[in-house]
Chains A and B, each alone.
Chain A
Amino acid sequence: MNLSDRIKQQLGPAALEIDQPLANRIYVYVSADQIVAAVRGLYEGLGGRFQILTGLESRSAIELLYHFSFDSEGTVVTLKTKVSTAFPEIESISPLMTSALWIEREVHELLGVSFRGHPDMRPLLMSDDWPEGIHPLRRKYQL
């Protein structure tokens, strides 16, 4: 079974859509409330390696992309989900992997996303006197 099918099987209905624009690149669309299940599927179920989480603000939402490398297949699988710009909140995946701790802190301070259940939401990059509520990777903000 190829990787794309194994993902379909592992994630079940949580995988809303699967795109494979290149042989070594797979994108899986999931809804934000399914993120822990989806991550568990890729990480624990299929043995993927967590690379990083990319957050970005697009026109209508804040997108969160969780990138996993399947090294023995030479393929990167990205889980794509969205949270609302007004109330950007999602469950933390850090209980599943220590490697998520830093990046969730970073996405919080740069984009304002809240990660429910994260044990230690201190700023990672910004200085101690950086004003609360100013998230530099948002498109519009006033200092």
Chain B
Amino acid sequence: MKKTILPVGPFHPIQEEPECFQLHLDGERIVDMDVRIGYNHRGVEKLSETKTFHQVPFLVERVCGICSASHPLAYIQAVEDIAGVRPPPRALYLRTIINELERVHSHLLWVGLAGHFIGYNTVFMWAWKYREPVMDLLEEITGSRVNYANARVGGVARDIPNADLAKINRYLDVMDPAVELFAGAVADDPVIHARLKGVGVLSRRDARDYAVVGPTARAAGLPIDVRRDDPYAAYGDLDWDVCVEEAGDVFAMAAVRLRELVECSKMLRQAVRKIPGGPVDAQVRSIPAGEALGHVEAPRGETFHYVRSDGGANPVRHKIRAPSYVNVPSFKARAIGETISDAVLIIASVDPCYSCTERLAVVRSADGTAELTGEDLVRLSHERTAEIRKQYGRTKLDELLAKMPPVV
């Protein structure tokens, strides 16, 4: 059995984030894989020890550009436990609102990327068209599209007037019907089914063994969600459902995220309606000695922070575990036995916190030549979709996408 190794040099001018996937192929089938990471290792945990407790959130919100509200919140919750502080209720609601808005824009981004990788660039345009107003909204209410610097130890840094919060409802009035239409079209689309169903299946057993979290776990039938299991912020006050699917395939992962957009909307509307008045900061000045941990449900799954204090100005230890750390390795269990035309989709389906799929390159064995890049793999995925589309002709999804007004 001839094996092919795909090395992908981690640095490339068109990539934002470097990492290196190595896929071992036998013909078209993936037989093994390895991931090399660390190219972007910045030593954030160590840097944290040089910051005061109030400075750390500014540092850790930059761990990830798209989960940037989740990291500081997990850290802050840990420190608040050390200090024995409970933030005022209005602050808890404001945190919930920002974190759910983040989930909305993150999931819409993913829907767009998934569409692109399958070969529906119109889906990409559609999803990002509906994503842009959320980014504008976040910028209006926090001052930034990402890295909001809203949460702080003891509460939030700035209050947001209720009149501004009401804008969220106006956005949801536009997003909700669009998502419903789209999800409906995707749910029955024969091409999407052929492309995503049964692909990249993560068994429940493997889901547990890899300790995956978030939509990756919920799509494989593991009913875990920190917002429900260990409620934080204002989640305990809200009425919503955890979205679980059983199949563990890429289709299930898409379904979970689309369903979660509906739940985000429910939660946001309730939060905007129920948010109490009052102060937004418990004015925490110093942190006593102690240790604690905080975890939140980031868009990709559980983000976990552990903090130890010795009563000084800085944390003496700050451990950070992002959800992608446990989700990305599960690619190994999901990709083995699949074909390279599906590799891109399988990687993208865990919604990794970097655009890793472009990092793939394949070198064919037998002829020992044709080096394929990540772009080639995306192209292979598109070709697969094109083949399938020929069988089905125009579908409801095509109709919907054709009706989409032009994107300026």
Contacts and interface: CB of A to CB of B under 8 A. Distances in A.
Interface of A: 22, 24-25, 49-52, 54, 56, 65, 67, 69, 71-72, 74-76, 78, 97-99, 101-103, 123-127, 136-137
Contact of A137 (B38, B45, B292, B326): B45
A24 B210 CA distance: 24
Nearest to A27: B291
B35 to A, nearest CB: 9
B211 A49 contact: yes
Nearest to A49: B211
B306 A54 contact: yes
B325 interface: yes
Nearest to A96: B209
B229 A65 contact: no
Contacts of B276: none
Interface of B: 37-38, 41, 43, 45-46, 81, 208-211, 224, 229-231, 292-293, 295, 302, 304, 306, 308, 316-317, 319, 321, 325-326, 329
A51 B325 contact: no
Contacts of A102: 325, 329
B209 A99 contact: yes
14 contacts: A49-B208, A49-B224, A50-B211, A51-B321, A52-B319, A56-B317, A74-B231, A76-B230, A78-B293, A101-B329, A125-B37, A126-B38, A126-B41, A136-B46
A69 B217 CA distance: 14
A65 B304 CA distance: 13
Contact of B302 (A51, A54, A125, A136): A51
A136 B43 CA distance: 9
A51 B211 contact: yes
Most chain B Cβ neighbours within 10 Å, of A65, A99, A101? A99
B230 to A, nearest CB: 4
Nearest to A54: B319
Given A74-B230, A97-B211, A125-B41, 19 more contacts: A25-B81, A25-B293, A49-B211, A52-B304, A52-B326, A56-B319, A67-B306, A71-B230, A74-B231, A75-B230, A76-B230, A98-B209, A98-B210, A98-B329, A99-B210, A99-B326, A101-B329, A102-B325, A127-B38
A101 B333 CA distance: 14
B48 to A, nearest CB: 11
A72 B222 CA distance: 11
Contacts of A103: 325
Nearest to B231: A74
Contacts of B210: 98-99
Contacts of A25: 81, 292-293
